[in-house]
Amino acid sequence: MDAAEASHDSLMTRAMRPARNSDTGERIRLAVIAVLLAFVLLVLPSMLSAYWTDVATSVAIYTIVALGLALLMGRVGLVSLGQVAVLALGAWVGARLLFATGLPFPVVTIMTGLITMVLGSLIGLPALRVSGLYLALITLMLAGAITVVLATTDFPNGGAGFLGHTEATTGAHEIRRPSIATGEHAYFRYVVIWAALMFILALWHVRGKPGRAWATIRQSEPAALAAGINISLYKMWAFALASFMTGIAGALLAGSSGTLYNLTFPTQDSIILLAVVLMGGIYSLWGAVVAGLLIKLLPALLDNWGLPPDLLTILFGIGVIQVLTTAPAGLVDQFPKDMAKLGRFLWRLVGSPGARTPGTAGSE
């Protein structure tokens, strides 16, 4: 009984300690984020060539997509195998609106986000009553269907009609960019700012009422119902949020590439997206950044070094299996944990034998 009492005591001691530690931790984190953001916005673009700026822009765009999926998976526990199809929808809608209206780019981006949100929620709607596996399968099916439709219809390129497509080369234009950000570097900064805004949106949700409801739903649906949470509503909200973000990413993607014809959205990519999001870590929002880097930076690096990109597909496949079998929280969680373990080990070497190191209660 002694060991149990002892651990019980230490749990209680930890619980009764005032919460000042997490406040300073919070402030340090904010400072680090601010510095990083400043670096990325101000210093990074000048260090990169046009090609690498393009890659960096892709990373930022896919970070937004990954953020949406990470919220769905990590916060609510819903797996969507169709986010890339939603991204394709967003790109299509964004391109169409940019051609059809003269509205400023940010306005079109938000409109795209909202329209994609509605469409994405329609996908989520039948899925509400469905269990985890079947939901994942439905998203896969619907994504596949969307991919087929997109493959057979033509992309908007400045023409008239609903599809906005014209065969004539004289009528076809490039997709425009925001007037303040037409160059590569400027557009990169523009996208990063949107990404930062999406992160803030995500945090606002996670720290607020939806986040708490999602945490409850994820752990135990009966407990959620018993707490008065309308599960369908909150699942829908998560889908809507993820679709909104992905729609915005789609509009930014359209603006980035100038034409949708260079882009493909195969079903395989949705699975790769799932893989990188899992590997990046679904329980922390930073995992989305890691995911963006994995999915867009690594291929460019491999290409640079003359290695086949297929190696990455294999790596991601291994990553999925590894994460699911051993480290469910992904790299973002695992790396700091390993670092913390190392830190404690060193501290114990340096400090006095009787000193107890503070526990890691409540990380995040």
Partner 1 sequence: MIKVENLEVRFGGVKPIDQMSVTFPGGTCGLIGPNGAGKTTFFNVLSGFVKPSGGSVTAFDEDLLAMADYRRARWGLRRTFQTEQAIEELSLYDNVAMLEEHSKNNGGSSRRDDVEGALEFVGLGKLNSNTKVGTLGARERRLVEIARAVVGKPRAVLLDEPAAGLPDEETEHMGSVIRRIPDEIGALVILVDHDMTLVSACCELTSVLDFGKLIASGPTDEVLRDEQVIRAYLGAEDV
Partner 2 sequence: MPSWHDFQPFIVTGLALGGVYALSGAGMVVLYRTTGVLNLAFGAVGAMGALIAWDLINNSLWPEWPSYGVAVLFCAAVTLAYGVVIGPALARRDALVKATATLGLALILLGTMSWIWSDKARSQVLPTSTHAFDVGQVAVTWTQVVAFGLGVVVVFGTAAFLKYTKLGTAMRGLANDREITATLGVPVRSVEAQAWLVSGILAGVSGLLLSDLVGLDAVSLTFLVISSLAAALIAQLRSLVVTFFAALGVGLVSAMATPITSISEYRNMAPFVLATIALLWISRKREISFTGTGLGNGRS
Residues that bind partner 2 (CB under 8 A): 73-74, 76-79, 81, 126, 129-134, 136-138, 140-142, 144-145, 148-149, 152, 217-222, 225, 266-268, 271-272, 274-275, 278, 282, 308, 310-321, 324-326, 328-329
> Would you tell me the crossing angle of helices 209-219 and 231-257 to the nearest 10 degrees?
110
Q: CA nearest 187: which of 108, 259, 241, 106?
A: 106
Site for partner 1 in 334-363 (CB under 8 A): 361-362
Site string for partner 1, 22-51 (x = CB under 8 A): x-----------------------------
Residue 100 in contact with partner 1, rule: CB under 8 A: no
Exposure string (b/e) for 154-171, b if CB count within 10 Å is 16 or more? ebbbbbeeeebbbeeeee
Q: How far apart are the first and last CA of the chain?
A: 32
**Residue 73 partner contact from partner 1, partner 2, none using kind-dependent CB cut-offs of 5 to 8 Å:** partner 2
Q: How many CA atoms lie within 13 A of 268 on its CB side?
A: 9
Residue (178 or 328) nearer to partner 2, CB: 328
Q: How far is the CB of 259 from partner 2 (least distance, A)?
A: 22
| Residue among 11, 36, 145, 340 that touches partner 1 (CB under 8 A) | 11
The rounded distance, in Å, linking the Cα atoms of 252 and 91 is 8
**Residue 140 partner contact from partner 2, partner 1, none using kind-dependent CB cut-offs of 5 to 8 Å:** partner 2
The token pair at 224 is 């959620």
| Interface segment toward partner 1; rule CB under 8 A; list 121-129, 219-227, 245-253, 338-346 | 219-227
**Residue 197 partner contact from partner 1, partner 2, none using kind-dependent CB cut-offs of 5 to 8 Å:** none
The rounded distance, in Å, linking the Cα atoms of 73 and 79 is 5
The rounded distance, in Å, linking the Cα atoms of 334 and 283 is 11
At residue 88, the 3 state secondary structure works out as helix
Q: How far is the CB of 162 from partner 2 (least distance, A)?
A: 17
Q: Which helix (H) or strand (E) holds 341?
A: helix 330-350
Residue 216 in contact with partner 1, rule: CB under 8 A: yes
**Residue 15 partner contact from partner 2, partner 1, none using kind-dependent CB cut-offs of 5 to 8 Å:** partner 1
Which are the contacts of 322, defined by CB distance < 8 A and separation ≥ 6? Answer: none
Q: How far is the CB of 228 from partner 1 (least distance, A)?
A: 3
Q: CA nearest 285: which of 252, 241, 324?
A: 241
3-class SS shares of the chain: helix, strand, coil, % to 5: 75, 0, 25
Q: How far is the CB of 225 from partner 1 (least distance, A)?
A: 5
| Residue among 2, 3, 15, 169 that touches partner 1 (CB under 8 A) | 15
Q: How many CB atoms lie within 10 A of CB 21?
A: 12
Beta carbons of 198 and 61 less than 8 angstroms apart = no
| Interface segment toward partner 1; rule CB under 8 A; list 38-46, 213-221, 236-244, 251-259 | 213-221
Q: How far is the CB of 337 from partner 1 (least distance, A)?
A: 15
Site string for partner 1, 227-256 (x = CB under 8 A): xxxxx-------------------------
Q: CA nearest 190: which of 172, 204, 176?
A: 176
Q: Interface residues with partner 1 (CB under 8 A)? A: 8, 11-12, 14-19, 22, 209, 212-213, 215-216, 219-220, 222-231, 361-362
